[in-house]
Amino acid sequence: MSSFNAGSADAHADANSPRALNAEAKRIGPWSASQEARVRAGAPQTVAREKRNLIIRLPDELLSAIFLAVPNAVGHAFALAGTCRWWRAVALSLPHLWARVNCVLEDTADAAAQGRWAGYLRTHLARAGSILLDARLEYSCDGYFSGDLRAAVLAVWQRSERFELVTSLEFDRLTEDDPFDFLRAHAPHLVDLRVDQTMQLDSDDRAALELALRAPKLKKFAFGGAMLVFDPDFDGAAAVMEAEVLVDFLDGDALPDLFACFPHLEKLHLFMSCDLLANSVVHSDRLLAMRLQLPSGTINQTTADTLRFPSLLAAYVHIMESHTLKPDVIRSFMSNALGNVLMLHLHFDLVPGFAEGIAVCTRLRHLVLRSILIPITDADEPVALVEALGSADRLTGSWPCPQLETITIHGKMTESVFAQKLVALAEARRALTVPISRIEVEGFDALQNRLNEILGSGAE
């Protein structure tokens, strides 16, 4: 049970006063070698007493540091303050202890329970003083917030620098008495927001969180749940620089709207259990790093044509159903979204069109390939890729990916045409103006040793 009675825990204190504890410490005297020996020997009648003596001799500064290191469990500040008068005095002198708020609303069906939780939150607010809050609210019960509890939650939201909401409930946009309506209130101090919806929904039961944040200082945003809808005309969180969106589904408007709401976005992690869709151009001159994971979806031609990330420097792309990608889609996606990357990690099988697509990445320095199909075979496309990277254009003399420095390949290999082509690639590119310095292969020591010998990069 995480239900917590703040009043009773806060009021329960030991009869020992700080003066009495100090007097006892003076009576005990310095910690002696004989006391140490008794504790190490585990004398049953002395161990507990000696440990207690150690605790009461702690200076307030050290005890304060211990209190602040305690994990932020529900009611932990009240539990510490309710242990004894000395601990209470130390706890009440630490506004940062009370600025860490953890509230699990499991039972709010009656007014008394809601009143207790409202008092719990108001006590945190009062004792934190002017310190901004680091708050976590978990709400998974039926029913709605009363006026008192609603006001307390809103006050915590508006005083928080970091806020995490965890719920197994569905976001219902049609409910007038919405328990999550505080998310639309002004949050002037909020820097970091995380929303986790833990329930699993069928496709017909999805109800999206409609995002209309009013948090001008917000820098980091994370959402995990069924669906997310952005209001493209709402600029209340324009300062966001890092976003993590893990969803079951995003419609074709969501991705363009995300960048419209977060125009200064520099880092994006997008995980979707569906196809990546974009009904209009998705353009960002600020995006520097992207992690795209499609465990059960793919990319169509329209989307590949609309993604424009000219400033993107590092990308990780995982497409489980990569075998469905058409060559033109691969070429468009590589050219439009990944054309200027310096570091590229591709977690999908090499499919037709990939060798031509990667040739447009003229600034690429570090390439990581992770095959879904194990082992890597002598299929046409893997061999074609290595051949393409290992030879210059016959007409122009230019090399694909002329800045390429390292290649890392994950996937079991055996002695094969693919392995032979890797050796030829190493021999061909080691003398370029920007030579390749390292090729790493997984689980093939003989090939790795041969590549190290060619490139002069001994195994670490």
Pairwise CA distance, residues 229 & 211, whole Å: 6
> Across residues 449-453, what is the average pLDDT?
93
Of 110, 104, 95, give the one whose Cα is nearest residue 75. 104
* Cα distance between the two ends of the chain: 52
Look at residue 51 in the predicted model and tell me its pLDDT. 53
- Kindly indicate the confidence band of residue 425, based on its pLDDT and cuts at 50, 70 and 90: very high
Pairwise CA distance, residues 134 & 115, whole Å: 22
* pLDDT at 176 exceeding the cut of 50: yes
Pairwise CA distance, residues 14 & 88, whole Å: 9
Look at residue 34 in the predicted model and tell me its pLDDT. 46
The answer to whether residues 412 and 375 touch, using CB atoms and an 8 Å cutoff, is yes
* pLDDT at 353 exceeding the cut of 50: yes
The answer to whether residues 327 and 302 touch, using CB atoms and an 8 Å cutoff, is no
Q: What is the CA radius of gyration of the chain?
A: 30
* pLDDT at 21 exceeding the cut of 70: no
Residue 142 half-sphere exposure, CB side, CA atoms within 13 Å?
A: 0
* pLDDT at 174 exceeding the cut of 60: no
pLDDT tens for 281-309 read 999 999 999 999 998 888 999 999 999 99
Pairwise CA distance, residues 143 & 210, whole Å: 21
Q: From residue 123, how far is each of 97, 120, 152, 184, 286 by CA, in Å? A: 12, 5, 10, 24, 42
Look at residue 380 in the predicted model and tell me its pLDDT. 57
- Kindly indicate the confidence band of residue 26, based on its pLDDT and cuts at 50, 70 and 90: very low
* pLDDT at 23 exceeding the cut of 70: no
* pLDDT at 146 exceeding the cut of 90: no
In the chain, where are the structural domains located? 57-94
- Kindly indicate the confidence band of residue 20, based on its pLDDT and cuts at 50, 70 and 90: very low
| Positive/negative CA dihedral, 367, 372, 377, 379 | negative
| Residue 31 DSSP label | P
- Kindly indicate the confidence band of residue 142, based on its pLDDT and cuts at 50, 70 and 90: low
215 or 18, greater pLDDT: 215
pLDDT tens for 95-126 read 999 999 998 887 666 778 888 889 999 999 99
Say which range, 230-234, 273-277, 440-444, has the weakest mean pLDDT. 230-234
* pLDDT at 402 exceeding the cut of 70: yes
- Kindly indicate the confidence band of residue 56, based on its pLDDT and cuts at 50, 70 and 90: low
- Kindly indicate the confidence band of residue 239, based on its pLDDT and cuts at 50, 70 and 90: very high
Pairwise CA distance, residues 307 & 280, whole Å: 9
Pairwise CA distance, residues 439 & 368, whole Å: 10
Q: From residue 28, how far is each of 35, 415, 422 by CA, in Å? A: 11, 75, 74
Pairwise CA distance, residues 124 & 131, whole Å: 11
Say which range, 45-59, 158-172, 293-307, 379-393, has the weakest mean pLDDT. 45-59
Of 173, 184, 179, 169, give the one whose Cα is nearest residue 149. 179
376 Cβ neighbours under 8 A, 6+ residues apart:
382, 409, 411, 412, 413, 418
| In the chain, % of residues over pLDDT 70 | 78
- Kindly indicate the confidence band of residue 91, based on its pLDDT and cuts at 50, 70 and 90: very high
Of 170, 176, 245, give the one whose Cα is nearest residue 208. 170
> Across residues 11-33, what is the average pLDDT?
41
What backbone torsions phi and psi does residue 196 show, to the nearest 5 degrees? -120, 115
What backbone torsions phi and psi does residue 258 show, to the nearest 5 degrees? -60, -45
pLDDT tens for 362-376 read 999 999 988 765 555
The count of other CB atoms within 10 Å of the CB of residue 99 is 22
Residues in the chain: 460
* pLDDT at 11 exceeding the cut of 50: no
Pairwise CA distance, residues 164 & 250, whole Å: 22
Two tokens at 454? 């060619």
248 sits in which H/E element? strand 242-249
pLDDT tens for 181-236 read 888 899 999 999 999 988 655 544 556 777 788 999 999 999 998 888 887 667 77
Of 433, 436, 401, 402, give the one whose Cα is nearest residue 422. 436
Say which range, 7-21, 40-54, 71-85, 143-157, has the weakest mean pLDDT. 7-21
Q: From residue 363, how far is each of 11, 289, 427 by CA, in Å? A: 65, 15, 21
The whole-model pTM stands at: 0.82
| In the chain, % of residues over pLDDT 90 | 40
What is the per-residue burial (b if ≥16 Cβ within 10 Å, else e) of 344-372? bbbbbbbbebbbbbbbbbeebbbbbbbbe
Pairwise CA distance, residues 161 & 134, whole Å: 6
* pLDDT at 161 exceeding the cut of 90: yes
